[in-house]
Every structure is written in C-alpha cells, then in structure tokens.
Amino acid sequence: MTDGSTDACTVWLPALAHFAAGGALRASLTRADALPAGANGFAAGLAACFAGVPTPLPAAALIRQSVVGDAGDGPWLAADPAWARADINGIRLMACGHMQLDMAQAQALADPLQPLFAEAGMQLQVSTPDHWQLRLPEGVELPMLTSPQEAMGEDIAEHLPQGAAGKPWRLLLNDIQVALHQHPLNAARRARGLPPVNTLWFWGAGRMPGSVHSTLRGVVSDDLLLRALAGRTGIAPQARSPAAIAAATAGCLLDLQDLSAAEVEAQWWPQLAPLLAQQPVLLHFASGERWLRRPWHRWRVWRRSER
C-alpha cells in the first residue's frame, strides 16, 4: 500500500452517515487525511484482511471450529436465531443473533426443530446462544445466501433462496417459522417485552478453509467470526475492552463496527481519543470511507470544514 496506512492501528466503525455532525468523531476527521475508499461492509472488510478464505465466506464452519472444534472437513451452514417483523411493505429482518438468549433457552428453541432438519439429513447444532449451525450431508445443493449484515432491515423475501434449488429451503424455513411461532418460550419473551425468536437466518455455507493468512498483528473484537479468522492465522484475538484498546499498536484491528454510532461516541471514544494522540490511527467506516489521523495532525488548527 502507498497511502501511508500500513503503520497505523485500524479501527472499524459504523457507517459514517450515522455519526452526528457535531460529534467528537466527526470533529477528529477535520484534521485527518482522507484516503481512497476501502472495503464496504463487514464481509468485504474480512475478505480484505484475510487471504486464503473462499467466497462466500464459510462462516458456519469457522465459528463451529472456533467454539467447539469439531467442524472437520464437511459442509456447514449457519442457522442463527433471528427476529423478523411484518409491516405494510413486507416482513423485515430486525435482528439476527443478539437475541438475549442463554444456552438453555437456545436449546429449548432448537429442540423442536430437530425433526424438521433430520428429515432432510441435517443436524442442528447450538454452538452459542447466538450462533447455531447445520451439519449438512455431502452433496447437498446450496442456494445463494445473504449474510445477516447485508439483509438487516430489509424485506426477507428479497433474500430468500430462489429458484428450484431454493424451493426446499423456502419450505423448510416456513415449517421452522410455524414451529417457533407456537413455542411457549416466545410467549414468555413477548410478556417480558422481548422480541420473539420467530425465524432462523441461513448463511455462511461451506467447509473449513485450509491455510489463512493476514498481515494483521492483533485483533480486538467481540465478533466470533472475526475472532475465528484471527485464530486461524495464529493471532490470539482479544475481547473488546478499554484496556485492550489502550494497548493497541500498529497493525492491530479494533472492531467497533457492530455497535451503534451513539455507543461509539458515548462509551468508546474516550478510549480512542488518547490513541489518536499517541500513534497513527486509520478510521475505517462500514460505508467504506477511510481517514488517517496522525498525532501531529492536531496542529492543523486551520482546518475547520465539516466532515
């Protein structure tokens, strides 16, 4: 690379448009250097950071291996618990994972679905409350599938498996939604003001990749897929914490992309601001914009334009 970012610590952030114009983060961009646009979205960011991973990314196998260690060389498919809500324009994906489940609740929801998958020769595995996987039979035909990040907030009809290859998956998903709608745990969730787990989101199909490479020197993230990829390259990922951010150095990736802009500003900017004063930091937004901020940039007092 020739943009001067190779000696920087990289921070992944939500889309730039989500940050308030008068906020501290946008103010920091006033004195930073704009770089050419980079990867747009989480999946593209992963592809840019890790070489040797097939496309589409085999998220299910990577997460299963990272958490349980039994992915082997067979095919897997992510089947994460999700919430879809009907409105006048269709049925929208509102949440995938992050459903405030514990392992006992996740297993209770998954158990009635097992016969549906068994009929198709599949096994549903609950690795974590938010990450479920299907162990698939050899030779199963997989349709094109969309990651939850790409589909969030959109009509799920636009992202369902299409065509003849997709028909069995659409029928299976319909049966899953009926079973989940009738589950007593969802009635209890509604009574507590929580959204129901009323569907599963299929994505991330494939087998464990072989050799994976990265030029990253460290990863700070709470995302299991990013942590799994880091582990495949020999990087020991760290959970997101103020201490981990304060200790970050050049070549480290700090992942805040899953948070809201308001959370970043209120909870994490106090940890990031000292980092910008100490070393070069590449601020990479989910929408692709990139800004490089170096410590000496604080002297650019003549820069007053809005970002």
- Unique residue bearing structure tokens 């604080």: 298
What is the H or E stretch that residue 220 is in? strand 218-220
* Interatomic CA distance for residues 272 and 242, integer angstroms: 9
Which pLDDT belongs to residue 2?
37
What is the H or E stretch that residue 10 is in? strand 9-13
Burial letters 237-247, b for 16+ CB under 10 A, else e: bbebeeebbee
Which pLDDT belongs to residue 202?
95
Which pLDDT belongs to residue 204?
94
Would you say 97 and 80 are in contact if contact means Cβ atoms under 8 Å apart? yes
pLDDT in tens, 72-117: 999 999 999 999 999 888 899 999 999 999 999 999 999 999 999 9
Percent of the chain clearing pLDDT 90 (strictly above): 75
Concatenated DSSP letters of 85-122: EEETTEEEEEEES-----HHHHHHHHGGGHHHHHTTT-
User: What three-state secondary structure class fits 13?
Assistant: strand
Which pLDDT belongs to residue 81?
98
- pLDDT under 70: residue ranges of the chain: 1-6, 299-307
Is this model's pTM higher than 0.85 or not?
A: yes
Which pLDDT belongs to residue 300?
67
132-135 vs 199-206, strand pairing mode: unpaired
- Unique residue bearing structure tokens 């993230």: 221
Angle between helices 224-232 and 59-67 (to 10 degrees): 80
Would you say 94 and 195 are in contact if contact means Cβ atoms under 8 Å apart? yes
